[in-house]
Chain A
């Protein structure tokens, strides 16, 4: 025999509802995968379509690279240029480095950042590039 079922059963329902929140919250919602585009004119004109590091490394550590660059440029050794492993030279700069090729912020940066609900503080200071289309 159950005792206090008028309290325990609502308690169980609330517990199950809370635990299964992700299940019913996402019901009927399609979750499109982020699809960052690298088809900007600058990249298409490139012979070697290779970023400063392989794609997998860029995916996971680009924020570290940017932070290191910032520290170097602003309060480190003030070096403004970096050389990749295969000898190409790039400017340590978000606007004049990264965004020169990846000029499509909304179709590149924002894709994953919005998907992950990440709000990087790059744009607190930097001005986002104007996009033509």
Chain B
């Protein structure tokens, strides 16, 4: 698929999705559908889908250790092994996974290869992908945790702490009066910027553009739409947050209520979030669970000292030398062939 049509297709899909509640609300009072039924359906789909995926993956046998290694393997006692980059034990794998999941270590190794000035290959230090990825994921995590203030009463201390850290830049004086009120959250801005960069690099870098599909653009646009509606709601167009919390708490306590007059922008935001949750288990986003099960990362490189038996090996008929000698001993003795047992 041409990359322009891929972008346009996914952009229009997201646009349609975001505006479904907008028109849905104009035609009929569908607050209960958009505020209660769809969120419940989305979260059930998300949970069942992701757990189903994990179970599905767990049915695949992984009989051989296939870790990608980047360090000295454990061998002779006087050769120093690299315990993290070439783990030989569970502890090493744990350390490796910790670095992988919290710091995106394998992405940090990213480099670009380019032809420059004739047939000359250059390998370049390339950290922008790593930087935007880590900013994107962490700010998304912070945004997600911050939203717990709508779903909990009283709000747990870790949420309020994270919130005050996130809003430590107090920018009461925005470029427009009241623009950055109440307290500006860094995570929202960083999320938008990082996701924007991740989109731009797909368009700008020819090799990445070539392998980008609508399924790459769609989640990016959806997340950009979520961040945009959220930021608009918080800083510019404003909705009734007390009503939002009543609705969210109602969902969390299974006493759904639909307060009137929250504002359609909220339903647009909520519906896009529901789309993301529902889409999650069926898309590349499921790397949330997949990263914990990636065969090239989660295995110790112990092929040389632990025997791994393929579980689907069929039983092989063998005829050992002992059995052979037992069968032919007399003939062997007759022919003068040496035997082990007389």
A residues with CB within 8 A of B: 1-5, 8, 11-12, 15-16, 19-23, 25-26, 29, 31, 33-34, 56, 59-61, 63-65, 67-68, 70-71, 112, 115-121
Contacts and interface: CB of A to CB of B under 8 A. Distances in A.
Given A3-B62, A12-B51, A67 B181 contact: yes
B148 A22 contact: yes
Given A19-B43, A26-B153, A117-B159, 5 more contacts: A1-B311, A22-B151, A63-B178, A64-B178, A68-B177
Contacts of B241: 60, 116
Say what secondary structure dominates the interface of chain A.
Answer: helix
- Chain B contact residues (Cβ within 8 angstroms of A): what range? 35 or more
A63 B182 contact: yes
A117 B172 contact: no
A98 to B, nearest CB: 16
Contact of A117 (B58, B155, B170, B289): B155
Interface of B: 43, 46-47, 50-51, 54-55, 57-62, 148-149, 151-156, 159-160, 163-164, 170, 172-173, 177-178, 181-183, 238-242, 245-246, 249, 252-254, 261, 263, 289, 292-293, 311
A118 B238 CA distance: 15
B252 A23 contact: yes
15 contacts: A3-B59, A5-B58, A8-B58, A16-B47, A22-B152, A22-B252, A26-B152, A26-B153, A29-B153, A34-B242, A63-B182, A67-B172, A68-B177, A116-B241, A117-B160
A12 B58 CA distance: 11
Nearest to B293: A8
Given A25-B152, A26-B252, A15 B242 contact: no
Nearest to A72: B177
Contacts of A65: 178
A118 B62 contact: no
Nearest to B262: A60
Given A15-B51, A26-B153, A4 B249 contact: no
A11 B182 contact: no
A12 B54 contact: yes
